[in-house]
């Protein structure tokens, strides 16, 4: 029997999960959204302080849910990156302290590997597989040909799609995080505003969101200056068609070119209803299977970190207690750490 305790603190959620032979015994998430809301985005300094305040409470609650003690844990896993440096530090220090005190292995986990492996709570992976990783900090298309075998075939050249949703929401006066409000308003609107995709090579798998963001911000500000009323539903819909269209087109082209058996959606933006609908429509009638994560594992949590840690435990991928965080850790370098 193997019990793993995993910690996630890369952005604005402090999370602790405990698994026993793959079964989730505890999954605690303390979100800071209500604090960052008033700033319209995550304030890194405040986020790290809150992680420091919340981590012990989350650990205690996870142990209570799992009905076990720290002595019963076989390994301590933690998100080492990517993420906000100060935030990552809090989780890492906690995991290192526990690993040292209880003389158990320390397992360094890549945050995006976590988002991808969250889907294993839904179904088994079939390779080759395409992962559509869309979150507040990352936008990547990843091909997996086997367990923990990640090849990044496309990524954003500037902003992440989630960040773009949040900035567009802000200019429209919608609350933070902006993904869900935009998703909801878009359902009520029509794509009447001329928002264009960036001009990029037709065969690229890369993304670019800063131009789309600037188009919306400029259009809204110009309309306001002229005293025109911005229809929020229509603007959200016009923006979302373009933002999501770029993801679905590239994903389907990659899926066909790489002959994938499965596509999995991962990350906060995979909660988007239009993205989910569009992907379902596009795989219909093909042999490609689509895994859509349940909403609870689209946002940051430690259950997904524990899922990756289970694989790393079997492979004995353990880190020394001198381990440092890496805010820019690349997914294809998940086994390179120090
Ligand atoms: O995965 P996540 O928690 O962040 C990172 O780990 O980077 O994702 C948060 C992002 C935010 O930008 C939020 O606006 C977006 O996911 N999001 C959505 C939706 N729900 C959350 N974006 C579009 N549609 C949604 N329904």
pLDDT tens for residues 245-294? 999 999 999 999 999 999 999 999 999 999 999 999 999 999 999 999 99
Mean pLDDT by 10 residues, the chain (338 residues): 97 96 96 85 91 97 98 98 97 98 98 97 96 96 98 98 97 95 98 96 96 98 97 98 98 98 97 98 97 92 98 98 97 94
> 272 CB less than 6 Å from ligand 1?
yes
> 275 CB less than 6 Å from ligand 1?
no
191 CA distance to ligand 1 middle (Å): 22
Q: Which of 69, 119, 150 is nearest to 307 (CA)?
A: 119
| Mean pLDDT for all residues in the chain | 96
Question: What is residue 169's predicted lDDT score, i.e. its pLDDT?
Answer: 97
Question: What is residue 39's predicted lDDT score, i.e. its pLDDT?
Answer: 83
Q: How far apart, in Å, are the Cα atoms of 278 and each of 245, 251, 310, 311?
A: 9, 11, 33, 32
Q: What angle do CA 165, 134, 279 make, to 5 degrees?
A: 100
> 162 CB less than 6 Å from ligand 1?
yes
Gap between the Cα atoms of 66 and 45, Å rounded = 31
Question: What is residue 98's predicted lDDT score, i.e. its pLDDT?
Answer: 98
> 215 CB less than 6 Å from ligand 1?
no
Question: What is residue 231's predicted lDDT score, i.e. its pLDDT?
Answer: 98
What domains sit in the chain, N to C, each tagged with a CATH number?
3-116+298-333 (3.30.420.40), 123-292 (3.30.420.40)
> 79 CB less than 6 Å from ligand 1?
no
> 135 CB less than 6 Å from ligand 1?
yes
Question: What is residue 38's predicted lDDT score, i.e. its pLDDT?
Answer: 82
Task: Decide: 53 and 38 in contact? Cβ < 8 Å.
Answer: no
> 136 CB less than 6 Å from ligand 1?
yes
Q: Which of 87, 115, 135 to mutate to test the pocket of ligand 1 (most atoms within 8 A of CB)?
A: 135
Q: What angle do CA 213, 38, 164 make, to 5 degrees?
A: 15
147 CA distance to ligand 1 middle (Å): 26
Q: Which of 71, 61, 77 is nearest to 19 (CA)?
A: 77
3-state secondary structure the chain: CCEEEEEECCCCEEEEEEEECCEEEEEEEEECHHHHHHHCCCCHHHHHHHHHHHHHHHHHHHHHHHCCCHHHCCEEEEEEECCCHHHHHHHHHHHHHHHHHHCCCEEEEEHHHHHHHHHHHCCCCCCCEEEEEECCCCEEEEEECCCCCEEEEEEECCCCHHHHHHHHHHHCCCCCCCHHHHHHHHHHCCCCCCCCCCCCCCCCCCECCHHHHHHHHHHHHHHHHCCCCCCHHHHHHHHHHHHHHHHHHHHHHHHHHCCCCEEEEECHHHHCHHHHHHHHHHHCCCCCEEECCCHHHCCCCCHHHHHHHHHHHHCCCCECCCCCCCCCCCHHHCCCCC
Q: Which two tokens stand for residue 61?
A: 């609650």
264 CA distance to ligand 1 middle (Å): 16
Gap between the Cα atoms of 198 and 283, Å rounded = 25
> 82 CB less than 6 Å from ligand 1?
no
Identify the bridge partners of residue 152 per DSSP, sorted by sequence position. Answer: 142
Task: Decide: 74 and 4 in contact? Cβ < 8 Å.
Answer: yes
273 CA distance to ligand 1 middle (Å): 12
Question: What is residue 42's predicted lDDT score, i.e. its pLDDT?
Answer: 85
Q: How far apart, in Å, are the Cα atoms of 243 and each of 56, 203, 254?
A: 39, 18, 17
């Amino acid at each position: 029997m193997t019990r793993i305790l995993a910690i996630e603190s890369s952005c604005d959620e402090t999370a602790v999960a405990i698994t026993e032979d793959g079964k989730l015994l505890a999954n605690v998430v303390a979100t800071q959204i209500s604090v960052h809301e008033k700033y319209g985005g995550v304030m890194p300094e405040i986020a790290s302080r809150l992680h420091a305040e919340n981590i012990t409470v989350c650990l205690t609650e996870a142990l209570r849910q799992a009905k076990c003690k720290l002595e019963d844990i076989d390994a301590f896993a933690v998100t080492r990156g990517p993420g906000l440096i100060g935030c990552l530090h809090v989780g890492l220090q906690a995991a290192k302290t526990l690993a040292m005190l209880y003389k158990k292995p320390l397992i360094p986990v890549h945050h995006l590997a976590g988002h991808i492996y969250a889907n294993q709570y839904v179904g088994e992976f079939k390779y080759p597989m395409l992962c559509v990783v869309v979150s507040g900090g990352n936008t990547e298309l990843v091909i997996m040909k086997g367990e923990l075998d990640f090849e990044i075939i496309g990524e954003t050249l500037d902003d992440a799609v989630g960040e773009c949703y949040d900035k567009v929401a802000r200019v429209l006066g919608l609350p933070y995080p902006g993904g869900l409000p935009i998703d909801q308003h878009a359902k009520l609107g029509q794509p009447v505003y001329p928002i264009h995709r960036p001009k990029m090579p037709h065969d690229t798998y890369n993304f670019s969101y800063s131009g789309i963001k600037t188009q919306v911000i400029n259009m809204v500000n110009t309309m306001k200056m002229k005293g025109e009323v911005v229809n929020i539903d229509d603007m959200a819909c016009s923006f979302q068609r373009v933002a999501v269209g770029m993801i679905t087109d590239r994903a389907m082209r990659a899926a066909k070119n790489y002959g994938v058996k499965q596509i999995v959606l991962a990350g906060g933006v995979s909660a988007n209803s239009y993205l989910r609908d569009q992907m379902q429509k596009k795989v219909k009638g093909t042999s490609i299977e689509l895994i859509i994560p349940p909403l609870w594992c689209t946002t940051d949590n430690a259950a997904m970190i524990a899922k990756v840690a289970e694989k790393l435990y079997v492979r004995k991928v353990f880190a020394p207690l001198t381990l440092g965080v890496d805010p820019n850790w690349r997914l294809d370098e998940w086994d390179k750490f120090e």
